[in-house]
């Protein structure tokens, strides 16, 4: 049988790459005493599959891994034993399910504290967007509220373009791609995000079946004092996939800000599949 596990990735774990996360879980399942299914042959390996690999440096509230089990216990016990096998206080929910196709993902991108100066070129000063923002702001950088508004206006302007063309590089070649259709929506605070999100979600009800157990975990997204952040829902999966880093790079270029990948903390909030009938989204942990 297959089981789906939802987990959070945060803190120093963001420096562990995807391949190592896989190895980490393989060992964790053994420590937890899961009756894992193995492939045949001299080099047996665990039957496991991750929904969507998370890049190095990113954090997340909603990572999913499907595993094969030969037998299983009560989900509550299994969640307890895997949490015990992971040293940090990470919380997990688990659901039984089949494999599914990832369709979209939500991200929260926040400016890390100490990087406010990075915005100066575009939002404050000499950059190309200056005229559109009206008067220059010579005030203190600590005035995050104003900075936050400026950032929001710049981002909205960026998003309101009819096309957002980026140069997408792959291993073999590079090509110009319009990423606008891959951005489902953006939001600038949690209320706005929840509101826009609910419009995109399918009408599902939490299934409290015997095969499901979940822990109500708090979001592990880092919170920064400057409050400069943007929520975005992006196309995800094997067919079309847009990384939040690509959006930010494009935004910075359009706003006259030099893009510094270290300035932005990307946090994944959820991963969705699409309901074939209604074309609406279902979070992977609610999909049976």
Closer Cβ to another protein, 32 or 282, answer by number: 32
* DSSP code string of 120-144: IIIIISSSTTGGGG-S---S-TT-H
260-279: which residues touch another protein (CB under 8 A)? 261-262, 265
Closer Cβ to another protein, 15 or 138, answer by number: 15
Closer Cβ to another protein, 204 or 224, answer by number: 224
63-102: which residues touch another protein (CB under 8 A)? 85, 87-88
Closest approach of Cβ 228 to another protein, in Å?
16
Kindly compute the dihedral angle of the four CA atoms of residues 188, 192, 195, 198, in this order, to the nearest 10 degrees. 10
Closer Cβ to another protein, 43 or 160, answer by number: 43
The answer to whether residues 176 and 250 touch, using CB atoms and an 8 Å cutoff, is no
CA distance 102 to 86: 26
Closest approach of Cβ 12 to another protein, in Å?
4
* CA 8 vs CA 60, 265, 274: distances in Å: 5, 15, 22
Closest approach of Cβ 250 to another protein, in Å?
20
Rule CB under 8 A: say whether 28 interacts with another protein. yes
Which of 3, 4, 7, 29 contacts another protein by CB under 8 A? 29
CA distance 134 to 23: 52
How many chain residues bind another protein (CB under 8 A)? 33
Alpha helical stretches, state H, the chain: 18-31, 75-85, 144-159, 190-200, 244-255
CA distance 46 to 25: 10
Residue 287, number of CB atoms within 10 A of its CB: 20
Closer Cβ to another protein, 36 or 230, answer by number: 36
Closest approach of Cβ 11 to another protein, in Å?
4
CA distance 138 to 154: 18
Backbone angles phi, psi at 110, to 5 degrees: -120, 145
Which of 18, 30, 194, 195 contacts another protein by CB under 8 A? 30
Closest approach of Cβ 25 to another protein, in Å?
9
Which of 18, 31, 169, 194 contacts another protein by CB under 8 A? 31
- Binding residues for another protein (CB under 8 A): 10-13, 15-17, 20, 23-24, 26-31, 36, 38, 41-46, 56-57, 85, 87-88, 112, 261-262, 265
């Amino acid at each position: 049988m297959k089981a789906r596990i939802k987990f959070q990735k945060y803190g120093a774990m963001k420096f562990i790459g995807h391949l190592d996360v896989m190895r980490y879980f393989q060992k964790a399942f053994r420590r937890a005493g899961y009756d894992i299914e193995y492939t045949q042959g001299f080099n047996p390996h665990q039957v496991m599959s991750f929904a969507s690999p998370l890049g190095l440096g990113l954090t997340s509230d909603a990572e999913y891994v499907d595993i094969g089990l030969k037998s299983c216990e009560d989900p509550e016990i299994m969640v307890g034993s895997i949490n015990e096998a992971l040293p940090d206080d990470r919380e997990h929910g688990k659901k039984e399910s089949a494999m599914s196709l990832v369709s979209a993902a939500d991200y929260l991108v926040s400016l890390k504290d100490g990087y406010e100066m990075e915005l100066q070129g575009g939002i404050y000063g000499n950059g190309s967007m200056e005229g559109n923002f009206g008067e220059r702001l010579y005030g203190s950088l600590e005035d995050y509220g104003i900075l936050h508004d400026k950032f929001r206006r710049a981002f909205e302007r960026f998003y309101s373009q009819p096309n957002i063309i980026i140069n997408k590089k792959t291993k073999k070649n590079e090509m110009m791609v319009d990423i606008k259709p891959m951005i489902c929506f953006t939001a600038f605070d949690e209320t706005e995000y929840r509101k826009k999100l609910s419009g995109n979600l399918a009408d599902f009800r939490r299934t409290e079946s015997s095969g499901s157990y979940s822990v109500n975990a708090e979001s592990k997204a880092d919170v920064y004092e400057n409050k400069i952040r943007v929520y975005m829902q992006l196309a995800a999966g094997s067919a079309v996939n847009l990384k939040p880093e690509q959006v930010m790079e494009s935004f910075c270029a359009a706003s006259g800000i030099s893009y510094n990948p270290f300035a932005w903390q990307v946090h994944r909030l959820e991963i969705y599949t699409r309901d074939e009938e209604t074309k609406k989204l279902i979070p992977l942990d609610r999909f049976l």
